[in-house]
């Protein structure tokens, strides 16, 4: 089942965060990757939440991509906001935000951001062969 790819477009609005998370959960179960559902859903929530909070007014949609390649699940969130690339922050104990990428960093094998025209794609890699296929 290597080589699967799926991309879905969502509107930039708050209700898209749980919709994207549910989409990832459903798709991973179809792909028999149930062991990745919880981690992938949390990463999806963080990355799509960042789009909702930071990319408003730059376009109507964001794309959520899932790819299965060479033992990895690659989760990507793309939007058209191009003026500031996300960076890993170290918020203080009293800060109310800024922990999303820390969560992504802790849960993924690797993550990063790349520019696209217009905007950017934030991606995270999850190892498939470390989980039991459910």
Which of 53-67, 81-95, 115-129 has the highest average model confidence (pLDDT)? 115-129
Residue 130, helix vs strand vs coil: coil
Any domain includes 122: yes
Question: Is the pLDDT reported for residue 94 higher than 70?
Answer: no
Question: Is the pLDDT reported for residue 77 higher than 50?
Answer: yes
Any domain includes 45: yes
Question: Is the pLDDT reported for residue 87 higher than 80?
Answer: no
Any domain includes 48: yes
pLDDT at 55: 77
- The per-residue pLDDT of the chain, averaged, comes to 86
Say which residue, 2 or 42, is predicted with more confidence: 42
Q: Which CATH number covers residue 76?
A: 3.30.565.10
| Predicted model pTM | 0.85
Interhelix angle 37-54/16-30, rounded to 10 degrees, is 150
The number of domains in the chain is 1
pLDDT one-digit tens code per residue, 21-66: 999 999 999 999 999 999 999 999 999 998 988 876 667 999 999 9
Question: Is the pLDDT reported for residue 133 higher than 50?
Answer: no
Q: Which residues of 74-87 are buried (b: 16+ CB within 10 A; e: fewer)?
A: bbbbbbbbeeeebe
Range of the domain at 114: 5-127
What is the distance between the terminal CA atoms of the chain, rounded to a whole angstrom?
Answer: 14
- Radius of gyration for the alpha carbons in the chain, expressed in angstroms and rounded: 14
Any domain includes 113: yes
Any domain includes 132: no
Question: Is the pLDDT reported for residue 88 higher than 80?
Answer: no
């Amino acid at each position: 089942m290597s080589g699967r790819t799926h991309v879905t477009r969502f509107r930039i609005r708050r209700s898209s965060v749980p919709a994207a998370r549910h989409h990832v959960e459903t798709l991973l179960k179809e792909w028999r990757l149930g062991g990745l559902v919880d981690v992938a859903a949390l990463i999806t929530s963080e990355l799509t939440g960042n789009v909702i909070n930071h990319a408003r007014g730059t376009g109507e949609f964001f794309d959520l991509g899932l790819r299965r390649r060479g033992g990895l699940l690659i989760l990507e969130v793309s939007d058209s906001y191009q003026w500031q690339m996300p960076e890993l922050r170290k918020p203080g104990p009293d800060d109310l935000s800024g922990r999303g990428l820390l969560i992504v960093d802790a849960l993924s094998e690797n993550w990063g951001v790349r520019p696209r025209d217009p905007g950017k794609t934030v991606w995270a890699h999850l190892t498939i062969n470390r989980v039991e296929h459910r």
